[in-house]
Copies of this chain bind each other. A is one copy, B any other.
Amino acid sequence: MTLDSLGNWRKTHFTKDITSALVGKEIILGGWVRNFRDLGGLKFISLQDKYGERQITIKKGVVSDDVFDKTKVGYQYCIMVKGIVKIFKKAPGGIEIIPSEVKILNKTPEKLPIDMTGETISELDLRLNNRALDLRSLKNQAVFDIRGEMFRSIRRFLFDHDFTEVTTPKIIGTATEGGTELFPIMFFEREAFLTQSAQLYKEQLSGVYERVFEISDCFRAEKHRTKRHLCEILILDVEMAFVSMDDILTILEKLVYNVIKDIREHKMGPLKFIEMENTTILPEIPFPRFQYEEIIELINNKYGFNIEFGEDISTEAYRKLGKDFPGYYYINNWPMSIKPFYIMPSKNTKYSESFDLQKGMLELTSGGARVHNKKQLMDAIETKGLNSASFKSHLNVFDYGMPPHAGFGLGLDRWLTMICGLNDIREAVMYPRTPDRLTP
């Protein structure tokens, strides 16, 4: 059988638009065959599009012989159906379409690499190898529908709070910020790097637009093979001028609250589909605020660890902590000694004006107030064993009236993983990149 061409057919509706108001009307749907049943003289096709599915009912004698013969479909065939909307209580959604014409736009092999009916879940790597197909699954439809709302909600909230969306370069000249390993690139004759974070640029831009944010890719050349790490991650970077760390805690928890509120308000269907409606619930704000020192004391006393002041908190310790505090909470005022140079020391310089936002055992955000005095910043760079000369173009900016500023970076892939209760961060990304995965 040859394939049909689109010709002058156009979809008149998406599946979500087919309501009882259209009963008796002729409509054209297009999409993919999610499921089909052949009972001899009676066939059913579940046609899926970007918003959901509708039942096409093909009964011998009711539809033309042409249509009856043509509707020998397979899983995920791409088809269009012209037909009449009818009430049918037993159909999903109480509506069926009686086709008058059908187009088969593209076919598939009889055996697909992954099951698309939702009856069995294929192994993640196999699914990622066939990601474009995998993304059509009802679960992924729900996850990425929630993701869309998350992004829209973040932008709405930040625009409502006078933030400017900025764009900072992904190719950077010097590998300076420290901490994370960078991907080197050849930039004509020079060595350059992919950005690990928008940190320095967003700080600079807080001296222009006062309140800035960026949602963009950052690149981490870390050979982690865990369920929480990626080489290419989407970070929400936020920076505010004329504020302290406390103001950031407040705006961040309001942001988190609002995003979850929006998801529950606008995406309850998808949330129910992935069975997260009782887990991803509105958190109480303000979030609990702990001091770093308080937390290590608790960890040591209650769970028998031996973390000393100035040490990081181990994954194992976080795991215990997360059981007692499964929700969102802040860990504030980390030791200055383990924070990057740009973090503002507290009055007692043993501590810093920094915080982590935790959700259970996982770190969602890291942030704090920054140094805005040039001399102090240069000293901090040298103290960390870095070379202030390589920060020349960044440091220059601090000559020209940098305001006090503070901000945070929030890993959106990781947050979506939590909100959707996914097992692996790769499930929260359309095309994940890991040390072992460069395709598709």
A interface residues, Cβ below 8 angstroms from B: 3, 5-6, 9-11, 14, 30-33, 49-50, 76-78, 80, 105-109, 112, 129-133, 135-136, 144, 148, 151-152, 155, 159, 162, 164-174, 183-188, 190, 192, 194, 201, 204-205, 207-211, 216-217, 219, 221, 223, 231-232, 234, 241-244, 247, 372-373, 393-394, 396-404, 429-431, 433, 435, 438-440
Contact of A183 (CB < 8 Å), options: B30, B108, B187, B398: B187
Q: Distance in Å from the Cβ of A376 to the closest Cβ of chain B?
A: 10
Q: Could you list 7 further interchain pairs (A-B, Cβ under 8 angstroms) beyond the known A50-B162, A112-B400, A168-B430? A: A10-B247, A132-B205, A132-B400, A148-B164, A155-B155, A171-B194, A397-B440
Assess whether B192 is in contact with A438, with CB atoms less than 8 Å apart: yes
9 smallest beta-carbon distances between A and B, as pairs: A173-B438, A78-B401, A393-B440, A132-B204, A6-B404, A132-B397, A135-B208, A185-B185, A76-B401
Given A106-B402, A132-B397, A186-B183, CB of A244 within 8 Å of CB of B6:
yes
Q: Distance in Å from the Cβ of A364 to the closest Cβ of chain B?
A: 19
Q: Distance in Å from the Cβ of A325 to the closest Cβ of chain B?
A: 30
Contact of A403 (CB < 8 Å), options: B105, B205, B231, B242: B105
Question: In the bound complex, how far is the Cα of B397 from the Cα of A109, in angstroms?
Answer: 12
Contact of A78 (CB < 8 Å), options: B106, B204, B247, B402: B402
Assess whether A404 is in contact with B169, with CB atoms less than 8 Å apart: no
Assess whether B173 is in contact with A430, with CB atoms less than 8 Å apart: no
A223 partner residues in chain B, CB cutoff 8 A: 188
Assess whether A170 is in contact with B108, with CB atoms less than 8 Å apart: no
- Copies of this protein chain in the complex: 2
Contact of A184 (CB < 8 Å), options: B168, B185, B207: B185
Question: In the bound complex, how far is the Cα of B401 from the Cα of A400, in angstroms?
Answer: 57
A430 partner residues in chain B, CB cutoff 8 A: 166-168, 201, 205
Nearest B residue to A222 via CB reads B188
Assess whether B132 is in contact with A208, with CB atoms less than 8 Å apart: yes
Contact of A210 (CB < 8 Å), options: B9, B50, B209: B50
Assess whether B148 is in contact with A165, with CB atoms less than 8 Å apart: yes
Nearest B residue to A374 via CB reads B106
Assess whether B393 is in contact with A171, with CB atoms less than 8 Å apart: no
Q: Distance in Å from the Cβ of A16 to the closest Cβ of chain B?
A: 10
Nearest B residue to A412 via CB reads B167
A398 partner residues in chain B, CB cutoff 8 A: 106
